[in-house]
A and B are shown apart, each in its own frame.
Chain A
Amino acid sequence: MTRLERNERLIRLALLLVAFSAVSILVVITIFIFGEGTPVMFKYGLKKFLLSLDWFPLEKSYGLLPMIIGSLFVTAGALVIGVPLGLACAIVLTEFSSKGLRRILKPVIELLAGIPSVVYGFIGVVILVPFIRDNLGGPGLSVLAASVILGIMILPTIISISIDSLEAVPRSYREGSIALGATRWQTTRMVMFPAAKSGIIASIILGMGRAIGETMAVIMIAGNAATIPRSLLDPVRTLTSNIALEMGYAAGEHREALFATGVILFIIIMVLNTIANLTSKRRAP
């Protein structure tokens, strides 16, 4: 045995320790969140927790329904804006423009993903909110404002991953379709797009995850009223804002209720990820 071979066992042990530490951290985070959050959920009653309209934590009333609906509306709104714009952009950049344009724009768009969310929120506050207030009514801090800003925020994610998915489709698909006499649009619609579907869906789910998880921007522009919004112009509070707004002064059971909100979010993300995994396993024929 050479000396190098003898050392292999030590190296393996060292790496095992590293991996173990990393995995332990992941486990600790998960257990901690669930540990702090689930007791209060069951003490208070799971159904009441999820479905009650009354969030008055100082009176021990923990109904999350307004926030759940708030997150839902705002995320849906973000998708309504982000998906069409994002997919259009991805399709144009891969199918209808030159490679050079794509090589310049794609990194720039990815760069935009790095802009802090507070900056987006701020733009929303100084431009979008007054605009809505003056032209559409309501306080301006609204579902609409949040949806638009979140939609813009998830654009880079959807565009970037959709471009990757479209680029990964074998060239022979496109060439075969054109050879059969199809126009570029027909090729895109009937061949390229379906072939890239799993990646595109994954990008949308990832965008959804980002929208649900966004906190700072939403706090700045959504109004934060813990009631169910009745129109696009009403203020709204999301699950994430709920945590951020009250964390500073929450104590005892109130704090545990915030962890419980975290548990709900964790489960939502887990479901989204599972769906994303399942759709990406099913490859287009």
Chain B
Amino acid sequence: MDKTVIRAKDFSHFFGAVPVLKNINMEIFQNEIFGIIGPAGSGKSTFLRALNRLNDLIPSSRTEGTLEIRGQDVYAPGISVVELRRRLGMVFATPVPLPRSIFENIAFGARLAGEKSRGRLAELVADCLKKTALWEEVMDRLETSALKLSGGQQQRLCLARILALKPEFIMLDEPTSGLDPISTMKIEETLRKFRAEYTIILVTNNTKQAARVADRTAFFLNGELIEVDRTDKIFSAPSDSRTNDYISGKFG
């Protein structure tokens, strides 16, 4: 059953006078992996950051239209941005482990939310590391610096970090762009397992990744949503010629 959990209604996003998202009308369903593809500068990352309001950090940022999560407008006045961001975990393109131990990295979000009990934190950390298949590799060195992990491990650490907040949504912004194929594969496997528990939005530069992993895929171009459909349909018989051109590599 396709239940809509995120709905963009005529949603536009501006930085000062420059529109970076133009009139987006889109729905994302519960427990799906939703892929977003498109060339650089098409607004894919901006859309993610509009969802968790990370763009608020940019002073000239302005929105029009509505962006709803479970029926509630994300930009309504009085909304707790803090709670919003806990619900929408975000993984960035370059893994950013904080300069602390592996344990403290994962516990970071929970501590922000007020969790103090060392016992509960330890359980939480173990749980998250197991979910991201990192536990076996680091269980005996939780107190060592996270900066010492490999790129692929760091990215899985960042994934585990957001799981600690028990989010509903996981948003990934080109998560494997700097990783080797094996780490990429491990992360894609993890995402497939997560589908049952979370709703996943995956922005990727790599169209083949979307084809492998996403249930439905959206194609963004110049801030506009060109087309969104089931992944197999997008990649075999797209409705818009521009989608076809992008996928076949005529531009990128």
**A positions within 8 Å CB-CB of B:** 1-2, 4-5
Q: A1-B80, A5-B82 are in contact. List 8 more A-B contacts (CB 8 A).
A: A1-B78, A1-B79, A2-B80, A2-B82, A2-B83, A4-B82, A5-B80, A5-B81
Least CB distance from B74 to A in Å reads: 14
Residues of A near B82 (CB, < 8 A) are 2, 4-5
Residues of B near A2 (CB, < 8 A) are 80, 82-83
Annotate B75-88 by CB proximity to A: 1 below 8 A, 0 otherwise.
00011111100000
Distance, CA A4 to CA B112, complexed state (A)? 10
Least CB distance from A80 to B in Å reads: 45
Residues of B near A5 (CB, < 8 A) are 80-82
Distance, CA A136 to CA B82, complexed state (A)? 75
Distance, CA A81 to CA B81, complexed state (A)? 60
Distance, CA A196 to CA B78, complexed state (A)? 52
Distance, CA A222 to CA B167, complexed state (A)? 72
Residues of A near B81 (CB, < 8 A) are 5
Least CB distance from A220 to B in Å reads: 47
Interface size on B, residues (CB 8 A): 6
Distance, CA A5 to CA B56, complexed state (A)? 14
Distance, CA A1 to CA B77, complexed state (A)? 10
Distance, CA A2 to CA B79, complexed state (A)? 9
Least CB distance from B64 to A in Å reads: 23
Distance, CA A2 to CA B81, complexed state (A)? 9
Residues of A near B79 (CB, < 8 A) are 1
Distance, CA A1 to CA B82, complexed state (A)? 8
Distance, CA A1 to CA B79, complexed state (A)? 6
Distance, CA A167 to CA B207, complexed state (A)? 43
Least CB distance from A95 to B in Å reads: 29
Distance, CA A5 to CA B81, complexed state (A)? 8
Distance, CA A5 to CA B86, complexed state (A)? 14
Within 8 A of A (CB), among B59-106: 78-83
Distance, CA A1 to CA B83, complexed state (A)? 8
Residues of B near A1 (CB, < 8 A) are 78-80
Least CB distance from A2 to B in Å reads: 5
CB-based nearest B residue for A8: B82
CB-based nearest A residue for B78: A1
Residues of B near A4 (CB, < 8 A) are 82
CB-based nearest B residue for A1: B80
Distance, CA A264 to CA B79, complexed state (A)? 56
Within 8 A of A (CB), among B23-43: none
CB-based nearest A residue for B86: A2
4 closest Cβ contacts across the A-B interface? Answer: A2-B80, A1-B80, A2-B82, A5-B82
CB-based nearest B residue for A6: B80
Least CB distance from A76 to B in Å reads: 46
Distance, CA A5 to CA B78, complexed state (A)? 10
Distance, CA A116 to CA B79, complexed state (A)? 57
Distance, CA A1 to CA B76, complexed state (A)? 11
Distance, CA A1 to CA B80, complexed state (A)? 4
CB-based nearest A residue for B81: A5
Distance, CA A250 to CA B82, complexed state (A)? 62
Distance, CA A4 to CA B81, complexed state (A)? 11
Distance, CA A57 to CA B80, complexed state (A)? 68
What are 10 A-B interface contacts by the 8 Å CB criterion? A1-B78, A1-B79, A1-B80, A2-B80, A2-B82, A2-B83, A4-B82, A5-B80, A5-B81, A5-B82
Least CB distance from A6 to B in Å reads: 10
Residues of A near B83 (CB, < 8 A) are 2
Residues of A near B80 (CB, < 8 A) are 1-2, 5
Residue among B79, B80, B81, B83 with max Cβ neighbours from chain A (10 Å): B80
Least CB distance from A42 to B in Å reads: 44
Distance, CA A203 to CA B80, complexed state (A)? 49
Least CB distance from A257 to B in Å reads: 49
CB-based nearest B residue for A4: B82
Distance, CA A5 to CA B83, complexed state (A)? 10
Distance, CA A4 to CA B86, complexed state (A)? 14
